Chains A and B, each alone.
Chain A
Amino acid sequence: MKYAFFPGCTLEGAAKEALTSTQKIAEALGIELVELEGWTCCGASHVQDIDDLLALSLNARNIALAEKLNLPLLTVCNTCTLMLRSAKQQLDQTPELKDKVNTILGQSGYTYSGSSEVTHLLWVLLKNYGLDNLKKKIKRPLTGLKVASFYGCHILRPPDIMGFENSLNPQSLEKLVEALGAENVAFEKRLDCCGFHAVFPAEQEVLKITGLDCLSAREAGAHCMVTPCPLCQMQLDMYQPDSQKQFKETLTIPVLHLSQLIGLALGLSPQDLGLGRHIVDTHPVLEKILK
């Protein structure tokens, strides 16, 4: 299995542990990731507010880079996935728009044809790799670990662009967590938003949203949250101490990247997975599984 890998800006910066853990688990699973040479930021849902044709053209270029390699494009960030898939959908469904964008791309040496799929690590593991194959690679089942599976918005919504599973009652993340040997807890906010994209213009509201998510997971008895999106992870982990100021109840809960949770089950070391780089201490999680 081979994919053109689109890491996204966060993995180069604050969430470097998501990059290393993704690379490590891919290696352990035998999935080859070829990082796209020259990829640019997906626009992160902001560039379209200034110029939607520009956002579309930049992502057409990103996908064209994968097409050049003849590979499907794999992301590990919900928002990157949405931005790239949204561009792909617009280009594939509107021939005039595709022509217009190709005229622009053509002059800087790229062509968008529509041949590369845009997919996410979670989907690949479920649909292409298969949970049965994943189970065979497990060295350290996460028995006894209670996990709150937090999807994040952009891997589900809008469903006409994402569409991997029903957005009202998705099951992929829970199935994966269960395959790793952990136990899912039912919590109210599993499909809610972390607030990340408005953390600057709506700081107080967002800190409340973040806190409610953590509280919901904690009160359901989870030892940690896990998310397939590095932006959700950042928001829920990095801003947890700020959110705490708005709450009387204790919010504290470690928040893991999906790749880290998988890595733990594959027997990788906490250091390799960057579990020391979190703001909220991840030791309580490790204590549950490194017995």
Chain B
Amino acid sequence: MDKITYRIKRFDGTREWFQEYTFPYEKNKTVLWGLIKIRDEQDPTLNFTSACRSAICGSCGVRVNGNAALACKTSLDELLEIYQTSTLTIEPLSNYRVIRDLVVDWEPKLERMKEVKPWLIASEEKDLSLGFIQSEEEFHKISNPTDCILCGCCVSECTQHSTNSQGFYEPFIFTKSYRFTIDSRDNAPSQHLTPSLEKGGLWKCVRCMQCVTKCPKGVRPADHISGLRKESMGLGHQQNKGARHAYAFYDDIRKTGRLNEMTLPLKTEGLTKTLSRRIPLALRLLRKGKLNPLHFPRPVQGIEGVRKIYRLVQKEERS
């Protein structure tokens, strides 16, 4: 291959269009190298952001062939190989307001992030002269979420955020919420957590794993969402559909080893909601034999061992 083409989505404040730029191929280059080359040699009006070129500042997130990537960290050779092409389509990150070309507006996201108070709220009673020392284990708990560089790649293809941007936090906000909720030096975990539960749609994550996949730093927002759910139940927030749904699985496995699909809606939504909303679906399934009201899973072989695992895990966690 001797030439590469970038098909770039342009926006001048009113008008949107795709513009193609072709330049000579060079080995071992990044997506950002191509953008800079275009701006330097072909079109000084092309707007994008970048600074460190070392995957640290988080300013160069763009969408390549529909997938968010950090331009300075993403190898052109790898992409050309993955997509078997010499033309890449480059767009601004999705789920952001676009300012110009590849430049997106961070202001509303950062404003929203403040809801989870992404800073330490230390205990006033602590003796400041001793400082706030953490054990190695305590540090490891926050180590992954602390790696977030706020590049925004996790938001771009987030499934729930794409359909429900107002009712669902950006994955990096959950990561911040989790990071401060579980920090051993913090004294107000619920102030970081409750907004995720009440405003952020904590239980609405569909577990598509786009955030974990797209993060260029190995941060795992989906795991942090799991962690926040666990913390929220620990703080007593168990009477919501998400928590009840999770407990339906937890209880069924202890009882028989397997899920009882018949009782799942009842356990998750309660009798009234199930009767008022699920009847058409249930009839549809009954008609096709997909729901068998007479099927009650019998305990699996070795269920005593399974129940023992529950008891031993609980004992281990208490110790």
| A-to-B contact residues, CB < 8 Å | 9-10, 12-16, 37-41, 43-54, 57-58, 61, 100, 104-105, 107-110, 153-154, 156-159, 166-169, 192-193, 195-198, 200-202, 205-206, 208-209, 238-239, 241-242, 276-279
Does B128 interact with chain A (Cβ within 8 Å)?
Answer: no
Identify the closest chain A residue to B208 (Cβ).
Answer: A193
Known: A39-B257, A50-B246. 5 other contacts (CB 8 A): A37-B301, A38-B300, A49-B233, A58-B306, A242-B281
A84 to B220, CA, bound (A): 18
A50 to B212, CA, bound (A): 20
Write out the residue numbers on chain B whose beta carbons fall within 8 Å of the beta carbon of A44: 249, 259
* Distance in Å: Cβ of B296 to nearest Cβ of chain A: 11
A48 to B291, CA, bound (A): 27
Identify the closest chain A residue to B297 (Cβ).
Answer: A12
Write out the residue numbers on chain B whose beta carbons fall within 8 Å of the beta carbon of A206: 206
Contact of A54 among B163, B242, B257, B313 (CB under 8 A): B313
* Distance in Å: Cβ of B240 to nearest Cβ of chain A: 7
A107 to B230, CA, bound (A): 26
A41 to B253, CA, bound (A): 7
B213–A202 contact, CB under 8 A?
Answer: no
Contact of B258 among A12, A166, A205 (CB under 8 A): A12
B201–A200 contact, CB under 8 A?
Answer: no
A277–B163 contact, CB under 8 A?
Answer: no
Most buried by B among A38, A197, A198: A198
A180 to B237, CA, bound (A): 50
B306–A40 contact, CB under 8 A?
Answer: yes
* Distance in Å: Cβ of B63 to nearest Cβ of chain A: 12
* Distance in Å: Cβ of A39 to nearest Cβ of chain B: 7
Write out the residue numbers on chain B whose beta carbons fall within 8 Å of the beta carbon of A39: 257, 300
A248 to B236, CA, bound (A): 42
Does B106 interact with chain A (Cβ within 8 Å)?
Answer: no
B209–A158 contact, CB under 8 A?
Answer: yes
* Distance in Å: Cβ of A146 to nearest Cβ of chain B: 22
B253–A48 contact, CB under 8 A?
Answer: no
A279 to B233, CA, bound (A): 36
Write out the residue numbers on chain B whose beta carbons fall within 8 Å of the beta carbon of A209: 159, 163, 206
Does B42 interact with chain A (Cβ within 8 Å)?
Answer: no
Write out the residue numbers on chain B whose beta carbons fall within 8 Å of the beta carbon of A276: 288
B163–A169 contact, CB under 8 A?
Answer: no
Contact of B206 among A167, A202, A277 (CB under 8 A): A202
Contact of A110 among B241, B245, B305 (CB under 8 A): B305
* Distance in Å: Cβ of B199 to nearest Cβ of chain A: 15
- Secondary structure at the B interface, as helix, strand, loop or mixed, is helix
Contact of A202 among B160, B247, B253, B300 (CB under 8 A): B160
Question: Known contacts A43-B249, A197-B207: does B302 contact A168 (CB below 8 Å)?
Answer: no
Write out the residue numbers on chain B whose beta carbons fall within 8 Å of the beta carbon of A105: 309
B316–A41 contact, CB under 8 A?
Answer: no
Does B284 interact with chain A (Cβ within 8 Å)?
Answer: yes
Please name 13 pairs of A and B residues whose Cβ atoms are closer than 8 Å in the assembled complex, sorted by A.
A41-B253, A47-B249, A49-B242, A50-B247, A57-B313, A105-B309, A108-B306, A109-B302, A169-B82, A192-B159, A197-B206, A200-B269, A242-B280
Write out the residue numbers on chain A whose beta carbons fall within 8 Å of the beta carbon of B139: none
B295–A13 contact, CB under 8 A?
Answer: yes
- Chain B residues 290 to 319 lying within 8 A of chain A, measured CB to CB, are 290-292, 295, 297, 300-306, 308-310, 312-313, 316-317
* Distance in Å: Cβ of B233 to nearest Cβ of chain A: 7
Write out the residue numbers on chain A whose beta carbons fall within 8 Å of the beta carbon of B284: 238, 241, 279
Write out the residue numbers on chain B whose beta carbons fall within 8 Å of the beta carbon of A100: 316
* Distance in Å: Cβ of A95 to nearest Cβ of chain B: 16
* Distance in Å: Cβ of A176 to nearest Cβ of chain B: 19
A110 to B301, CA, bound (A): 13
Q: Which 3 A-B pairs have the closest CB atoms?
A: A108-B305, A157-B209, A193-B208
* Distance in Å: Cβ of B286 to nearest Cβ of chain A: 11
B249–A46 contact, CB under 8 A?
Answer: yes
Write out the residue numbers on chain B whose beta carbons fall within 8 Å of the beta carbon of A57: 309, 312-313
* Distance in Å: Cβ of B57 to nearest Cβ of chain A: 24
A200 to B253, CA, bound (A): 19
Does B226 interact with chain A (Cβ within 8 Å)?
Answer: yes
A87 to B206, CA, bound (A): 20
Write out the residue numbers on chain A whose beta carbons fall within 8 Å of the beta carbon of B230: 49-52
A168–B207 contact, CB under 8 A?
Answer: no
A193–B159 contact, CB under 8 A?
Answer: yes
Contact of B290 among A53, A159, A277 (CB under 8 A): A277
